[in-house]
Amino acid sequence: MLKQTEGSKAVAEAIALCRPEVICAYPISPQTHIVEALGEIVKSGELTPCEFINVESEFAAMSVAIGASAAGARAYTATASQGLLFMAEAVYNASGLGLPIVMTVANRAIGAPINIWNDHSDSLSQRDSGWMQLFAETNQEAVDLHIQAFRLAEELSMPIMVCMDGFILTHAFERVDIPSQAQVDAYLPPFEPRQVLDPAEPVSIGAMVGPEAFMEVRYLAHAKQMQAIERIPQLASEFREIFGRDSGGLIRTYCTEDADTIIIAMGSVLGTIKDTVDEMRAQGHKIGVLGIISYRPFPLEQVKAALLNCRRFVVLEKSLAVGMGGIVATDVRMAVTGTGLKGFTAIAGLGGRPITKASLHKLFREAKAETLPPVTFLDLDWDAVNKQLAREKQTRRSGPVAENILHDKGIVSAKFG
């Protein structure tokens, strides 16, 4: 059913249609509306049987999900930012144990400095946790990816994060087609665990594993994600048959066939990029877009194939590997090894810095002219940076960096960009 609704609410409705049996809730912006909306659905009696558990931390949220999943229940939780870091040990544990938990990550920056706004630092920090990570471009895709995620996670017995941009998607009201229960039931069979705690058939789960077997266990986690590379496009096409729309898959291309320059990104910024690309195409620029939906597993072959006919690419990412540069860019460069393609990295939108069409126009033109440095920081205020650097040169006790920059920039509430 078509609805004009908030992203968080739409996602909550989609999750409820997936019939989770245990939901762990802990508040953290910008994820909170999702579990609140799920709480309302549980309370209304529409989702039954379901245990909604208010836990005392994200670490507990993931731990409760681990217990529930190991005992054969379909388990769900949602988090963001510091919450994801706080549960990190349990995040690795869930994938190590091979438990098909689905978790929404409402992507948000990581502090310090504390910042509630969107970027991709949080889920990318869990890049190697063994969780699959799917990034939604729109709220419609966030809805659809959750349904696909439960199916994929349970098929492979591995957990999945569905990543949606905090605030930009979670708090945006837009048109979303909420599927029917019958559609979701036709797509998502009941959970058949591969391993389950059951007094009728006792097993030990979580034993100490020494050097004699650890490598094999880890390799199999990798192999599962390699299987997911095969399964994700198949599940997307099965999804299209039942739900009648394209959603999910490994990557999505836009105007790439004849493009000499391709912009690569993940999440909601793809929309702004596509609008910019349309405008540039109208002016005769051969430019295209490659959206990465599946960040883990990373579709190396598919990314390479999509880029093969262009001359250069820009990875625009909302994340930063401090001391190195891009995080997504590293993977993309791995994919194009040996092709001789010219690649640029643009770090953008950290901590919710708006990514505007005006800035993208400038960036893409410079990329086309190949005048960009290998790593660019989009819309970085060099004055503020240089002022702080000068301050540090001048005096030893230069004080806290973040507070100095804020002081230089003035009152925030007077701005709304």
Residue 364 touches another protein, criterion: CB under 8 A: no
Sign of the CA dihedral running 90, 95, 99, 105 = positive
Q: Return the amino acid letter for 363.
A: L
Closer residue to another protein in complex, CB, 68/232: 68
Q: Select from 36, 40, 155, 174 the one that contacts another protein (CB under 8 A).
A: 174
Distance from CA of residue 278 to its chain's centroid? 25
* Interaction residues for another protein, span 344-363 (CB under 8 A): 352, 354-357
Our finding on whether 59 is near another protein (CB under 8 A) is yes
3-state SS, one letter per residue, for 122-151: HHHHCCCCCCEEEECCCHHHHHHHHHHHHH
Spatial CA neighbour of 349 closest among 315, 327, 319, 329? 319
Tell which positions 76-95 bind another protein, by CB under 8 A. Answer: 89-90, 93
Shortest reach from residue 55's CB to another protein, in Å: 6
Residue 357 CB, nearest approach to another protein (Å): 6
Going by C-alpha positions, the residue among 188, 186, 205, 105 that lies closest to residue 151 is 188
How many residues of this chain interact with another protein, rule: CB under 8 A? Answer: 73
**Min dist. Cβ of residue 192 to another protein (A):** 13
Does residue 268 bind another protein (CB under 8 A)? yes
Minimum CB distance to another protein, residue 106 (Å): 12
β strands within 246-367, DSSP E: 251-254, 261-265, 287-292, 294-296, 312-317, 342-347
Q: Which residues contact 395 (CB under 8 A, 6 or more apart)?
A: none
Q: Does 331 bind another protein (CB under 8 A)?
A: no
Residue 55 makes contact with another protein by CB under 8 A: yes
Separation between Cα atoms, residue 293 and residue 313, nearest integer Å:
17
Contacting residue, 167, 295, 313, 344, with another protein by CB under 8 A? 167
Per CB under 8 A, 253 contacts another protein: no
Per the DSSP assignment, residues forming a β-bridge with 107 are 165
Q: Is 374 in the site for another protein (CB under 8 A)?
A: no
Contacting residue, 35, 81, 85, 117, with another protein by CB under 8 A: 117
Q: How many CA atoms lie within 13 A of 218 on its CB side?
A: 10
Contacting residue, 25, 35, 38, 60, with another protein by CB under 8 A: 60
